[in-house]
Each structure stands twice: as structure tokens, then as C-alpha cells.
Amino acid sequence: MDKRLYVTILYDFYGGLLTDKQKEIFEMYYLNDLSLSEIGASGGVSRQAVSDLLRRTTKLLTDYEERLGLAARHTRLLDCIDKLAAQCNGLREVMPAAAWHQIDETLTEIREL
Amino acid sequence: MDKRLYVTILYDFYGGLLTDKQKEIFEMYYLNDLSLSEIGASGGVSRQAVSDLLRRTTKLLTDYEERLGLAARHTRLLDCIDKLAAQCNGLREVMPAAAWHQIDETLTEIREL
């Protein structure tokens, strides 16, 4: 998986354990796509200081995942949901349309949790 | 939900963030059902010291849940899985037995994640 995508998934799980400062810089860089120089300029610090903070923050996030494995568990879950969706989809022709609609809604609800 | 059950669920999620000592005492009390006095005696500390450590540990676990909400998210997920199981179950008579068996297996796999 793309490293950038991976750390944003970890942030979704463990961001709540970061400090406000760590969250702010992480979001500027990974979610709002600002450059290190732009982030540094906005906070009056050097590009290098921003880079160091980001490195420590992503290290923290990967450490949390190493200890808890909750993002990996969630990925396995989504794989199972895909399998289940395919299994249900294979039965669409024998299902009443309303029943399929209900199942499809529940699958969407699960994916959005 | 029963408080004892609730903290063991939180432990399942966040136990990896506790120290070895905290994990050991937590498991003795909540998983192996030893009394405070028994735990104290085995470690050469007072009943009160064990009680204090357990209180701090469960506080840590509830703090993690307050910040991350991953156990609550998982509970919502299991509710959705129950709903999906009921929806699929309602279609058993129109499904080939082999198809039901596959779906049932995937639902079990999800519950055990």
C-alpha cells in the first residue's frame, strides 16, 4: 500500500492519541497537501523542524499499530465484507429486490463505520 | 453493559498500550478471577496497592476509549453484522444450501476478527 495512504489510515485510528500540535502539522501535510516549507512558514519554524516533527509523528502512529494492530484487523474485516458482498451478489437473481436492497444498505453501513 | 465485561472488551483493544505489570495484574483479576488479596499475596504487596493499580489501569483503558472510540465502533459493527445475518437468514428458503453455508462461514469469520 502507498505509504501516504497507510499513514492516513493509521491517523484515522490513532490520531486521538496525538497532541494538538502533532495533529495540526500531520493534517496540513497529509490531508491538506501543504509542503514542508509552507507549513514551516505558517508556523515560523524551519522546513527541517516540520520534517522532524512529521517523522516522529508517523513513527508514533506505526508504533501504536505495532502494539495494537487495529488497522490491520479493520483491513481484514473489509476483506471479509467484500467476500460477503460477492456471496450475496451471487444470489441476487433468487432474492426479492427489496431483500437485496436491505442487504446492500447494511453492507454500505458497515463499510462506512 | 456489565462493567467487568466492558473493561475486558477495552483491554482487548488497548491492552497493548499497558505496561507488563499492568497487564499481569489486570489479567489476574479480570480474566483469571483472583481476589485482590490473592493477587497482593502473590506479589508481596497489599490488597490496597493492587486495588489502586487496577483503578489506574481501568482509568487508562477508559481514557483510551474516550480518545479513540474504537471499541464503540466495533460494537456498532457487530450490531450491523447481526442485522445482516438476520437479513440473510430470512432468505434461507430461497438460497441453495451451499450458498447459505458460505455466507454463514463468512459471518462467523467476521465475528471472530
CATH number at residue A44: 1.10.10.10
pLDDT higher than threshold 90 for residue A93: no
My answer on whether A16 and A63 are in the same domain is: yes
List, in order, residues 6 or more apart from B43 with CB less than 8 Å away. Answer: B25, B50
Percent of chain A residues past pLDDT 90, beyond the cut = 73
So what's the pLDDT on residue A48? Answer: 97
**φ, ψ for residue B19, nearest 5 deg:** -75, 165
Q: Which of residues 15-74 of A touch B (CB under 8 A)?
A: 16-17, 64, 67-70, 73
pLDDT at B96: 86
- Report yes or no: A86 at the B interface, CB cutoff 8 Å: no
Same domain, B23 and B56: yes
B97: pLDDT strictly greater than 90: no
Supply the pTM of this predicted model. 0.83
Q: Report the pLDDT averaged over residues A18-36.
A: 96
Which one is predicted more confidently, B75 or B53?
Answer: B53
Question: B27 and B63: one domain?
Answer: yes
What percent of chain B has a predicted confidence (pLDDT) above 70?
A: 100
**Same domain flag for A63 and A84:** no
Spell out which residues of chain B touch residue A84, defining contact as CB-CB under 8 Å. Answer: 84, 103, 106-107, 110
For residue A9, what pLDDT band results from cuts at 50, 70 and 90? very high
Q: A53 with A78, same domain?
A: no
Mean pLDDT of A85-90: 88
Same domain, A49 and A25: yes
Q: How confident is the model at residue A96 (pLDDT cuts 50, 70, 90)?
A: confident
User: Does the beta-carbon distance from B80 to A106 stay under 8 Å?
Assistant: yes
- pLDDT in the model for residue A31: 95
- Same domain assignment for residues B55 and B93: no
User: For residue A65, what is the nearest residue in chain B, using CA coordinates?
Assistant: B16
CB contact under 8 A, A87 and B67: no
Residue of B25, B74, B68 whose CA lies nearest to B46: B25
Are residues A110 and B84 in contact, defined by beta-carbon separation less than 8 angstroms?
yes
Residue, of A25 and B96, whose pLDDT is higher? A25
- As a whole number, mean pLDDT of residues A36-53 equals 95
Distance from CA of B91 to the nearest CA of A (A): 7
Q: How many domains is chain A partitioned into structurally?
A: 2
Per the CB < 8 Å rule, is A69 touching B113? no
Mean pLDDT of B81-91: 89
Instruction: Please tell me whether residues A49 and A84 are part of one structural domain.
Output: no
Q: How confident is the model at residue B11 (pLDDT cuts 50, 70, 90)?
A: very high
Specify whether B58 is located in the same domain as B103. Answer: no
pLDDT of residue B64: 97
B63 and B13 in a common domain: yes
Please indicate, yes or no, whether residues A59 and A78 belong to a single structural domain of this protein. Answer: no
Residue from the list A17, A70, A99 with its beta carbon closest to the beta carbon of B91: A99
Helix axes B47-68, B36-43, angle to 10 degrees: 110
Residue B74 has pLDDT above 90, yes or no: no
Distances (CA, A) of B2 to A14, B11, B35, B67, B81: 26, 14, 18, 21, 22
pLDDT of residue B86: 92
Are A52 and A92 part of one and the same domain? no
* Dist. CA B24–CA B29, nearest whole Å: 9
Residue A3: all three cell numbers together? 505509504
In which domain, by residue range, is A19 found? 3-68
Nearest CA in chain B to A82: B106
